[in-house]
Amino acid sequence: MLFRSRFLLLLALAALLAFVSLSLQFFHLIPLSSAKNAVSSKSRKRILPDPATEPPVLDPVNEALLYCNTPSVAERSMEGHAPHHFKLVSVHVFIRHGDRYPLYVIPKTKRPEIDCTLVADRKPYHPKLEAFVAHMSKGPRAAFESPFHALPLYPDHQLCEMGELTQTGVVQHLRNGQLLRDIYLKRHRLLPDGWAGAQLYLESTGKSRTLQSGLALLYGLLPDFDWAKVYFRHQPSALFCSGSCYCPARNQYLEREQRRQYLLRLKNRRLEATYGDMARLVDVPAKQLRAANPIDSMLCHLCHNVSFPCTRSGCLDLGHLRVLKAHQLDDERDRREKQLYRAYALLGAHPLLNQTAGRMQRLAEGARDEVFALYSAHDVTLSPVLSALGLSEARFPRFAARLVLELWQDRAEPRAHGVRVLYDGADVTFSTAFCRDHHQRSARPMCPLENFLRFVRRGMFESLGGAGATYHEACHREGF
């Protein structure tokens, strides 16, 4: 009971802090430096780098709750904000799937009882939930590339299967879709009323949680869409590298990055002691417990307000989760400093960013197809893309995270196109590697498209020390 009331208090406090810091800092209502005095520095959003100050100290439990992304108050976002003389040309959306059941079980404990059926009068509510289920029940095979035919179009198990999308996950993406609908369709008329299938580009990895997340977002964006106009492509690789996945140098960077991660873990005595304590509670060797990635399950308990599992020797608790999460945050900090991950990310994210750059260029030259592109993906997709774009300060992708690239045309100067980048609703355009300097030099409201194209085609490899190199050359470079 004590746990419950403390948990509730924490949840409420974190939500309040997150909301205050979001309103104050994301939307520049007050400058960052005074925001820090107004709100506890622990709650600071870590999206905008502030090299003048110490790295912020983040509270692990608060960070864990932000990761849950529990649907609550209506979200404010900066998507679609542009001066009147700009016309919206296209929108490119990269999402992480919504809330899911854990991928691992903590050995010798009861797994959390979470219901993965969709029920309109169960929290979190969404007015379109029933209509979504009804519409999905009519989904024809022709709307999907072949490996998807075996997948259900919405979650439907009384006890969730491993990795299954939950009702929370569906609601998160229905809300994402609705938010994008209000901004891009209603306000900016990105699609005409009788839109054509060719105006959409939809791609998902082969997991049910990504496909279902993509469908929920699409349904929020285009309620009761015409199935005949919808086609989901299948992407076998979590990096969305399509035909360009072979890249030995990328794999080498990843191996060195994993070694860094391993060495950092060994140095953390508190973490080792915590694993030891947890292993004693559930009565398995510490190694076995660590391999079961207990933080994944514990986050599920936290996000769903289900008490942590107990055994005869005692219970896992918030203290354990705090240490595990604190280590994750340390690891992210170390990862930024060592730069190995960034090298991996530049090569890993190139094919996807290159595809996006190509699509933007075609649209800027007058093409009218694929004005809305949706990639339904994973944390291991979004993380490298964020890092490659130079957004290394961005938070680890939470459930239902969204990264949006917007392409605009200047009506006053029709050949000039601008790009905006938004992460979970925050405008991060001028924090990207390709537009950081632009901000200081000019008063333009967005980043020139050329900056993005130059970065993707050349700049990405220059940061790897290979000026003038192509993707293929950078992937086959030796002796770094």
Ligand X SMILES: *[C@@H]1O[C@H](CO)[C@@H](O)[C@H](O)[C@H]1NC(C)=O
Nearest C-alpha neighbor of 79 from the set 402, 372, 410: 402
* Under rule CB under 6 A, residue 381 binds ligand X: no
Answer yes or no: 28 catalytic: no
Give SS3 for 139. Answer: coil
Q: How far apart are alpha carbons 21 and 35 in whole angstroms?
A: 8
Indicate the residue type of 105: V
Q: Between 47 and 129, whose beta carbon lies closer to ligand X?
A: 129
Q: Measured from the CB atom, is 241 or 278 closer to ligand X?
A: 241
Q: How far is CA 214 from CA 1, 4, 304, 337, in A?
A: 38, 34, 22, 34
Give me the catalytic one of 317, 379, 438, 439: 379
Residue among 43, 172, 297, 354 that touches ligand X (CB under 6 A): 354
Of 71 and 80, CB closest to ligand X: 71
| Dist. CA 79–CA 204, nearest whole Å | 23
Q: Does 351 bind ligand X (CB under 6 A)?
A: yes
Q: How many residues are present in the chain?
A: 480
Residue 355 and residue 242 in contact, taking contact as beta carbons nearer than 8 Å: yes
- Give which of 396, 306, 296 is closest to 11, Cα–Cα: 306
DSSP designation for 309: P
Q: How far apart are CA 287 and CA 4, in angstroms?
A: 30
The answer to the question of residue 461 lying near ligand X (CB under 6 A) is: no
The answer to the question of residue 11 lying near ligand X (CB under 6 A) is yes
Strand 86-96 and strand 372-377: the pairing is parallel
The pattern of x and - marking residues 153 through 172 that bind ligand X according to CB under 6 A reads --------------------
Q: Return the number of the residue (351 or 384) whose C-beta is nearest ligand X.
A: 351
Taking the C-alpha atoms of residue 137 and residue 224, their distance in angstroms, rounded to an integer, is 12
Region of 35-43, 231-239, 351-359, 412-420 interacting with ligand X (CB under 6 A): 351-359
Provide, rounded to whole angstroms, the least separation between the CB of residue 346 and ligand X.
12
- Residue 417, φ and ψ in degrees, nearest 5: -120, 150
Interface with ligand X, residue 344, by CB under 6 A = no
Round to whole Å and give the CA distance between 197 and 231: 8
Catalytic residue among 97, 126, 135, 378: 97
244 binds ligand X (CB under 6 A): yes
For the beta carbon of residue 275, count every other beta carbon within 10 angstroms: 20
Q: Does 4 bind ligand X (CB under 6 A)?
A: yes
In the complex, which residue's CB is closest to ligand X? 358
Residues in 286-315 at the binding interface with ligand X, rule: CB under 6 A: 305
Rule CB under 6 A: say whether 452 interacts with ligand X: no
379 tagged catalytic: yes
138 forms part of the interface with ligand X (CB under 6 A): no
Nearest residue (CB) to ligand X, 144 versus 471: 471
Which residues of the shown chain bind ligand X in the complex (CB under 6 A)? 4, 8, 11, 244, 305, 351, 354, 358, 471
Active site (catalytic) residues: 97, 379
